[in-house]
Structure 1
């Protein structure tokens, strides 16, 4: 059974969105009117004082009556008052970000003034471990994070949609790479696996139909040219929609951004060591150790480290990495504290197999079956690897100015290097000659011939970010304001001293007789020696170096600088009604192509109404993103005319609902969005000497997303999601108008993971996990001239069995149970992992 709605069901949902929006708005207005008239009939009052145990201000703690619209926040002394309460029995819920919440059962009579005081304690960072036999909470749901809005907003208060992937979930699934971690987020689809190339070698993913890379670390830039290691991940936030207002355009796309929140030190000794082994020579060792460095426990140190060694399921390929991430926290006083995070990754790997399909002439094959590709063939060599070391250093200072204002100062320094051999296979079976298609290889009737293009990468990307935020939480009259005012400086330099590309043989992929193919294509003296592979490349290191001797060497340096200022304010009109208004201004400067400067404004608005406080919210948002476009040239024969372009813009309208029900046992989000991109730059090439640039392109992406995180019974935890994305080029090159962009991924995708920990005494400590991913058909090439190349839909199922206690955990995981062939692509075809078994043993101390 597929893990997704059908395409027809998805279209039905979208076609009825306007009607539902009208009904939702009518219901909202009716509820507001009703609540206004009903308050006058309520009689009682509940008041009291909330205190905290960490010498912090007790101001702006949320106090609500569960299941009602009644609630308030505390003043600077922790005092609160809830008026007009009908007689009855209630649950008083007290909560604040950074504190353990509390719920109190109370009863109030008509006209009574009930005094109820309470104390709450800080939930300072501890190891985010969940004992295998606990099963007492929805431990896969961790929604609250200040980095998402740069404000202390709960999920239900935030008009923006985001998904949080917790470290607990990653451990249950024995995740050893970032690609597998992101399978747990609705709407995320892999486009392009990590290549190791300079400046953009990390993996690409489709998010709401736009390409995005994981470039944010703790809300700041964090670069990588290779595959990221998950050993230091506390949680991953996939923040949906164009988020230029708070994050600029250096780490986001129009679909959103991927932010990785790292583990931080805590105030006791503890840790865990883990060993994982499995298929394809997997050997992985990780360690997480934390300790206070002084008796007062104001200085704490934590280090996470990992060694990873793994081969490919193909005939060649490997990845070897060493990762270390020390972090240090220092609480200088009740007002001042510091946090330093460092990540160092040394990574070496072979290129993943990447088949680049035709972009300028009609495709000769249109799907995997017609291509006849054997996905066990890598067409690479373990002698041809690329090293992608990266380094990230972040320092943050937090200062409490007064009870209403805090200061956050952050400095980030990051570098990513690529050094080694990068290759790919490019479809060159046919070529265009004077406007007609001519067969380059007349002996080929089926399949394709790919040229292997290769260069030696020697590139370094350096980035510096300096950020200053002032965060306020105060009242003006009865209106609570939560505001962030910030400035940001971002500097990125890319130095490229690699070589140009050379051809290293050709590869035939298809079903023709290889004897004939080698005679016709490769022109070899003894074609029989190539019958097995259909490959006449020279894949040894010495032979490849000889080919590169005559290659050109790059000598380029690019520099970008961005100066930004932004402000975002959330105003509580009522305890259950809030509005957000935000604005960012960017000054962008690029030293490439003679230099050019641009200034861009990016607004954001949102509204949230909670019919039941802290349980149900209705939200709507308008968000904006932008891209600074590099200058280009119009070519008319020998005449070249420079062109400077305005920034592109993306505007999103979205509405939906968020739920937190049944004593936090069910979290759910449902949303519909529409993103319109304008001012897109595109080129019309009539010939090699006639190219004209335009900036009036447009694209529309719209879709529906649903997410569930549930703990229906003790011991059972479920994470599930579904996404539908429709995408269409509405204006631009005639070859793309009306076609689905290749960044959009599949129309339908879904994810599921369910785990159960036995609660009875006989099996206590044992557990089972089961889930998987579904992806519909995906047109990785799609256009008027080329036609379409479609990779097939797939459903991949995974399972696990585990046993553990408060000291150790043993997990056995089976991925891709049915050994299904799966692919991803973005004008490319890349085979993904086949069936694999992994065993993991962890010991906590």
Structure 2
């Protein structure tokens, strides 16, 4: 009995010891008292944490007695720390309010993850405010890092195939000044020029190894971003990977057809946990050969980033991307823009697309550097200060060549011209933003007020272009210079020694130009009611063109106002929103000489900036617990005030040119069942030049408008449980209708045919590693893209990837 009594007493005492725990609960809301789902909850200096549910509620059980600090964070909101004490009881922290902030330092997700992995509901870049897509009157597409991984994407062009309404016009040429890739968006050409909301230039292609997501903003966006980084169709913003609280990373190797080998690394660590100092490094080395008889690209990329959270009020961040790349520039067939091309389609042309018409001896080097420093300071619970500095430097050195059909020699003969490039472009940008989130009575205001200074300097020290032989699309060659009366038969070897000998006779340029832009802007998202909000924005932009630094004759300046307005109504709160917007873009126009020279000296005439105005309306849905996100929109863009020749006088210029672009877009991101993610998009665009002094293009579709119809889809299924857990399959298509490679009155039309390209993947995802294979262009479709050019696209290619996470 004594032994039995001792055992009972011991068990009771042990039970009391084990019971020295409590439970913690609370609800996380924004300052409008709306619950924040998916907020990260972490008990500091422990591994205990959770996430809030759909209503913002959280609960953590079995917390040992003691004094703690609870850290609450959510992307787009300022991190908050709340002290609490557990003493054998339940602690209800009631309601904790988070205030809007930036994305400088994000917390690691403790448990659980988003089910709809192809969409992102919030960003602080699109509106320069931490605003949910559902609350934004502007339409934008987001391409997530998970989507890129599921497709084993190794280049930027393939990544943008996932953006609704975006079509590649031509791939990166690497040439100075404008060597990045060109894309068509809502009827206008655009290049990727924005990184984390700041200018970030490149003469080559962007390395996807450091991409957290890509944001494609639709429609003119000059009000918040200016005209230096945007087009009338929109802009492309690359969001890079950032340091996070914790230690980890991954190593990845991808190999594939046409000599593709790429190794990437991602490493994150704390330099000082006590000081909240975190460092992240992304790096990549890649080599790839062309599917044609010559051509290659190799690159080394490194992206260091640093985040220092001084306290809950002050944070600093540094981001850098450094690229060393060498490539042969892709050889497009440039069609004549003023004389008929002998052939009207690819069948008549007889193009052997396996020929590159270049040599691996003739290469371009594209070193690029982008740096950004960010400082975020909390002025109060309602206001914060954000200071941003960015610098970009991009260069081109080496041999650039192109093929052009002058229509002189006949037989679809394309003449080769080349030069030796030595180009540089550098930009500097300083922004100061004050971001507020406060109530005026019952109305919530989310405000950004900013100042922006942007400067760009370009130098050119390359040679002139020299004739270097002719080719025909089927592979013929001759040395007859079309601009000399004598028939020549000399050879033009594609070697550096032979090319240098010809270029030695060409002049070398020595040019330097500069321009500055001074801007002030403001935007306010005003909630008139919980269901009805308006967005109002205005930019004052002063453009100062220095032009050539050696003369003041090309100097001019212009001042522009760029407004923006939007209205959004939620008939079903947080599930359905109906929106409309007015957005503006502009382009600065240089003065021109006017007047009949026979009547005396000509005079300088100045002009207003060219304007683009968009009217758009549509609907956004976020239903079935974020499992179905859809955006449907119709837009109407009118470009006016283009400078044209006065119909009443050939010696005068007026602002009367117009372009009209309209269309609709549908984008869908769905997670119908656990493990299945679907993304699909369709766009229809109708563009026309309605007023112009150039009769060649009047009433015709602009060449940079691309295809009228574009569509894309990708589905990815990963088995969520059972013996096959982790195994998955992906499949999708990209397609476009036929489009004009050339479309002028005097040239007639050269049509590039419609295409549909299918892709598929298989993978296995374990806890620490992923193995996958991807088949691009599965049915080996022969297809082409172009912008007054003919550019063959890559045939069937197989990729294999292995990734280890630590």
Shorter-chain TM-score range: 0.7 to 0.9
User: Alignment partner for residue 449 of structure 1, among 407, 410, 413?
Assistant: 413
Please name the residue that 1:316 is paired with: 294
Alignment of 1:8-157 (within 5 A): 59-63=31-35, 92=55, 98=76, 117-118=94-95, 125=106, 137-157=115-135
Shift of 1:240: 0.3
Contact 1:164 1:236 in 2 (8 A): yes
The residue matched to 1:62 in structure 2 has which SS? coil
Please name the residue that 2:168 is paired with: 190
Question: Structure 2 length as normaliser, TM-score?
Answer: 0.86
Please name the residue that 2:510 is paired with: 555
Deviation by residue 1:717-761 (Cα, 9 ceiling, x = unmatched):
001000000001110022211100001101100011001112342
2:710 corresponds to 1:749: yes
Work out the CA distance in 2 between the residues paired with 1:524 and 1:799. Answer: 55
Shift of 1:59: 3.2
Shift of 1:363: 2.5
Alignment of 1:251-650 (within 5 A): 251-296=229-274, 298-430=276-408, 440-441=409-410, 444=411, 448-510=412-474, 537-592=492-547, 593-633=553-593, 642-650=604-612
Contact 1:136 1:714 in 2 (8 A): no
Shift of 1:135: 9.0
Query: Which gives a bigger RCO, structure 1 or 2 (Cα 8 Å, sep 6+)?
Result: 1
Deviation by residue 1:528-576 (Cα, 9 ceiling, x = unmatched):
xx9xxxxx53211100001100111111111110000001011101011
* Gap regions ≥5 residues in structure 2: 1-24, 38-52, 58-72, 80-91, 548-552
2:691 corresponds to 1:719: no
Give the 3 Å change call, closer, same or farther, for CA 724–190 of structure 1 in structure 2.
same
Contact 1:50 1:58 in 2 (8 A): no
Give the 3 Å change call, closer, same or farther, for CA 135–246 of structure 1 in structure 2.
closer
Give the 3 Å change call, closer, same or farther, for CA 461–91 of structure 1 in structure 2.
closer
Give the 3 Å change call, closer, same or farther, for CA 793–126 of structure 1 in structure 2.
farther
Alignment of 1:147-296 (within 5 A): 147-296=125-274
Work out the CA distance in 2 between the residues paired with 1:507 and 1:388. Answer: 27
Shift of 1:626: 0.3
Give the 3 Å change call, closer, same or farther, for CA 625–136 of structure 1 in structure 2.
closer
Please name the residue that 2:10 is paired with: none
Contact 1:449 1:506 in 2 (8 A): yes
Shift of 1:162: 0.3
Please name the residue that 1:696 is paired with: 656
Please name the residue that 2:749 is paired with: 788
Give the 3 Å change call, closer, same or farther, for CA 754–238 of structure 1 in structure 2.
same
Work out the CA distance in 2 between the residues paired with 1:321 and 1:630. Answer: 38
Give the 3 Å change call, closer, same or farther, for CA 162–58 of structure 1 in structure 2.
closer
Contact 1:335 1:400 in 2 (8 A): yes
The residue matched to 1:182 in structure 2 has which SS? helix
Contact 2:422 2:461 in 1 (8 A): yes
Work out the CA distance in 2 between the residues paired with 1:538 and 1:640. Answer: 48
Contact 1:135 1:716 in 2 (8 A): no
2:625 corresponds to 1:653: no
Paired residues, number: 726
Contact 1:100 1:120 in 2 (8 A): no
Work out the CA distance in 1 between the residues paired with 2:54 and 2:237. Answer: 35
Shift of 1:117: 3.8
Of 803-812 and 631-640, more deviation after overlay is shown by 631-640
Give the 3 Å change call, closer, same or farther, for CA 591–142 of structure 1 in structure 2.
same
User: Alignment partner for residue 708 of structure 1, among 665, 668, 679?
Assistant: 668
Please name the residue that 1:667 is paired with: 629
The residue matched to 2:371 in structure 1 has which SS? strand
The residue matched to 2:360 in structure 1 has which SS? coil
Work out the CA distance in 2 between the residues paired with 1:369 and 1:582. Answer: 51
The residue matched to 2:413 in structure 1 has which SS? strand
Question: Structure 1 length as normaliser, TM-score?
Answer: 0.82
Shift of 1:696: 1.1
Shift of 1:772: 1.6
Deviation by residue 1:56-100 (Cα, 9 ceiling, x = unmatched):
x963452499xxxxxxxxxxxxxxxxxxxxxxxx98467975469
Shift of 1:354: 1.0
Contact 1:603 1:624 in 2 (8 A): yes
Contact 1:357 1:827 in 2 (8 A): yes
The residue matched to 1:547 in structure 2 has which SS? helix
The residue matched to 1:148 in structure 2 has which SS? coil
Shift of 1:784: 1.3
Deviation by residue 1:228-257 (Cα, 9 ceiling, x = unmatched):
101100000000000010000010000000
Work out the CA distance in 2 between the residues paired with 1:246 and 1:194. Answer: 27
Work out the CA distance in 1 between the residues paired with 2:113 and 2:561. Answer: 48
The residue matched to 2:131 in structure 1 has which SS? coil
Contact 2:481 2:488 in 1 (8 A): no
The residue matched to 2:725 in structure 1 has which SS? coil
Deviation by residue 1:761-789 (Cα, 9 ceiling, x = unmatched):
22111100000201100112112111111
The residue matched to 2:274 in structure 1 has which SS? coil
Shift of 1:119: 5.2
Give the 3 Å change call, closer, same or farther, for CA 168–297 of structure 1 in structure 2.
farther
User: Alignment partner for residue 789 of structure 2, among 822, 825, 828?
Assistant: 828
Please name the residue that 2:60 is paired with: none
Give the 3 Å change call, closer, same or farther, for CA 631–225 of structure 1 in structure 2.
farther
Give the 3 Å change call, closer, same or farther, for CA 524–383 of structure 1 in structure 2.
farther
Work out the CA distance in 2 between the residues paired with 1:537 and 1:691. Answer: 44
Contact 2:469 2:480 in 1 (8 A): no
Work out the CA distance in 1 between the residues paired with 2:793 and 2:108. Answer: 33
Contact 1:242 1:252 in 2 (8 A): yes
Shift of 1:509: 2.0
Give the 3 Å change call, closer, same or farther, for CA 126–135 of structure 1 in structure 2.
closer
Work out the CA distance in 2 between the residues paired with 1:220 and 1:817. Answer: 37
Of 354-363 and 635-644, more deviation after overlay is shown by 635-644
Shift of 1:651: 0.2
The residue matched to 1:226 in structure 2 has which SS? coil
Work out the CA distance in 1 between the residues paired with 2:779 and 2:799. Answer: 16
Work out the CA distance in 1 between the residues paired with 2:186 and 2:514. Answer: 30
Please name the residue that 2:731 is paired with: 770
2:802 corresponds to 1:841: yes
Give the 3 Å change call, closer, same or farther, for CA 801–832 of structure 1 in structure 2.
same
Contact 2:76 2:122 in 1 (8 A): no
Give the 3 Å change call, closer, same or farther, for CA 523–810 of structure 1 in structure 2.
farther
RMSD across aligned positions (CA): 2.9
Please name the residue that 2:85 is paired with: none
Shift of 1:631: 3.6
Work out the CA distance in 2 between the residues paired with 1:368 and 1:523. Answer: 31
Work out the CA distance in 2 between the residues paired with 1:313 and 1:127. Answer: 42
Please name the residue that 1:816 is paired with: 777
Give the 3 Å change call, closer, same or farther, for CA 738–293 of structure 1 in structure 2.
same
Give the 3 Å change call, closer, same or farther, for CA 425–714 of structure 1 in structure 2.
same
